[in-house]
Amino acid sequence: MAGPLKGLRVVEMVGTGAAPFCAMMLADMGAEVIRIDRLGASSPVAPEDCRFDVTARGRRSLAIDLKKPAGAETLLRLITQADALVEGFRPGVMERLGLGPEVCHARNPRLVYGRMTGWGQDGPLAHAAGHDINYIALSGALHAIGRSDEPPVVPLNYIGDFGGGGMLLAFGVLCALLDAARSGKGQVVDAATTDGAALLSAMMYGFKADGSLNNLRGENLLDGGAHFYNTYACADGKYISIGAIEPKFYANLIQLCGIDDPAFEQQRDAHRWPMLKYRLSDVFKTRTRAEWCALMEGTDVCFAPVLDWDEAPEHPHNRARETFIKVNGVTQPAPAPRFSKSAPATPSAPAKPGADSEAILHDWGIDPAVIDELKERRII
């Protein structure tokens, strides 16, 4: 393995959404992450062909029956050697399996125990079911996304599961690992998607406090209200994005669009934004997206074409930076960020559940006779 986290050992309790994304990030950076799959269990959301389960990349899989005491004990033997554990179950599930923080810390006091939930480990909603859309709704983030006089727009599960969830857990685990290196003691990391989505909204809450942001969706500077920070349809039905916030960038926009209407001189007059947006919309419909790209891409207008899933990997900038890679024939984002001396390797393809059970146990020092017995008893 290569990367800045080389040598780090992590146990991942397989789940969906945020926790696997965290584990993927750690594995991308060179950590040895082993996925603990439940023996014989199937995921309601994972693709049938594991090649397409991109967030499962870079890890080997151990399938084990944790309902049997010997299964839980075997996992505890691995946890004793691990630096961190990540899990994304509802509060109390790991405790019922006999694998809660107290039990694990009794075996390994230095263990960082990362917990990923939607609502958090405590609070009135802690034990309720939920999904990304619910968590970002509670944080205030969902309310702000969408057009004026329309319902809030669901932003896929970027803000909750991945930004406010998985990335937050990865950050928390690494923070706790740094602390454990100094103190010799691990701790529990309680990462809640509601907390993370709220944290992502820090700047917006500052804007709200100083009066520069209001609760009217689609009428503010960064939510599509401004004509100079928006998306526009072109003559061919494809879209472009404009982010000309600063006056010098806005001046470039007006110049390249060939606009000489004095109404556009009042850039920050929010009362004019709807009218200016309408006029700018007409301007962008006069050319195709490719023509606007030829005129504006690479300039200081703050411009980019709106690319679909097929187009993005093929854009010259993304190709030059190798932003996308292919793993076992599947196009996917490359590990990020970049490092000057400890570059991570290309991730391995996702493993079938249980494909590496014997190899993992062997590599982590479990006696071959014990492995054979676990196989005979159908615990692995």
What distance separates the 2 farthest-apart alpha carbons in the chain? 84
Same domain, 23 and 142: yes
Amino acid 276: pLDDT: 98
Mean pLDDT of the 217-243 span? 97
| Residue 368 forms part of a structural domain | yes
Q: How confident is residue 40, by pLDDT bands cut at 50, 70 and 90?
A: confident
Per-residue model confidence as pLDDT tens digits over 345-356:
999 999 999 999
Same domain, 16 and 115: yes
CA distance 76 to 80: 6
Amino acid 49: pLDDT: 84
Counting Cα atoms < 13 Å in the Cβ hemisphere of 313 gives: 10
Q: How confident is residue 1, by pLDDT bands cut at 50, 70 and 90?
A: confident
| Residue 352 forms part of a structural domain | yes
Same domain, 137 and 238: no
Which 3-state string (H, E, C) describes 286-315? Answer: CCCHHHHHHHHCCCCCCEEECCCCCCHHHC
Same domain, 236 and 273: yes
Domain boundary among 287, 317, 347: 317
| Residue 94 forms part of a structural domain | yes
Q: Is the pLDDT of residue 282 over 80?
A: yes
Q: Is the pLDDT of residue 230 over 70?
A: yes
pLDDT over 90, % of the chain:
95
The dihedral region occupied by 7, where left means phi > 0, alpha psi between -120 and 50, and beta the remainder, is left
Tell me which of 172-176, 286-290, 376-380 is least confident. Answer: 376-380
Identity (one letter) of the amino acid at 153?
V
| Residue 214 forms part of a structural domain | no
Amino acid 17: pLDDT: 87
Same domain, 55 and 97: yes
Nearest to 137 by CA among 169, 165, 167, 160: 160
122 to 31, 90, 118, 128, 164: CA distances (angstroms) = 30, 11, 11, 11, 17
Amino acid 185: pLDDT: 98
- How big is the chain, counted in residues? 380
Same domain, 183 and 309: no
**How many distinct structural domains can be found in the chain?**
2
Q: What's 293's domain CATH number? A: 3.30.1540.10
Nearest to 338 by CA among 319, 322, 316: 322
Catalytic residues: 131, 161
The strand pair at 324-327 and 330-333 is best described as antiparallel
Same domain, 23 and 170: yes
Domain extent, residue 96, equals 9-200+325-376
Domain boundary among 268, 293, 317: 317
Identity (one letter) of the amino acid at 326?
K
| Residue 364 forms part of a structural domain | yes
Mean pLDDT of the 256-276 span? 96
Same domain, 312 and 329: no
The strand pair at 303-305 and 239-243 is best described as antiparallel
Q: Is the pLDDT of residue 42 over 90?
A: no
| Residue 205 forms part of a structural domain | no
Q: What's 141's domain CATH number? A: 3.40.50.10540
**Cβ atoms of residues 190 and 120 within 8 Å:** yes
3-state secondary structure of 135: helix
Q: What is the mean pLDDT of the chain?
A: 96
Same domain, 133 and 252: no
**328 Cβ contact partners less than 8 Å away, ≥ 6 residues apart:** 51, 349
Q: Is the pLDDT of residue 48 over 90?
A: no
Identity (one letter) of the amino acid at 21?
F
Nearest to 312 by CA among 241, 261, 254: 241
Rounded-to-5 percentages of helix, strand, coil across the chain: 40, 15, 45
| Residue 4 forms part of a structural domain | no
| Residue 168 forms part of a structural domain | yes
Same domain, 342 and 259: no
Domain boundary among 285, 300, 317: 317
Same domain, 187 and 247: no
pLDDT over 70, % of the chain:
98
Same domain, 313 and 333: no
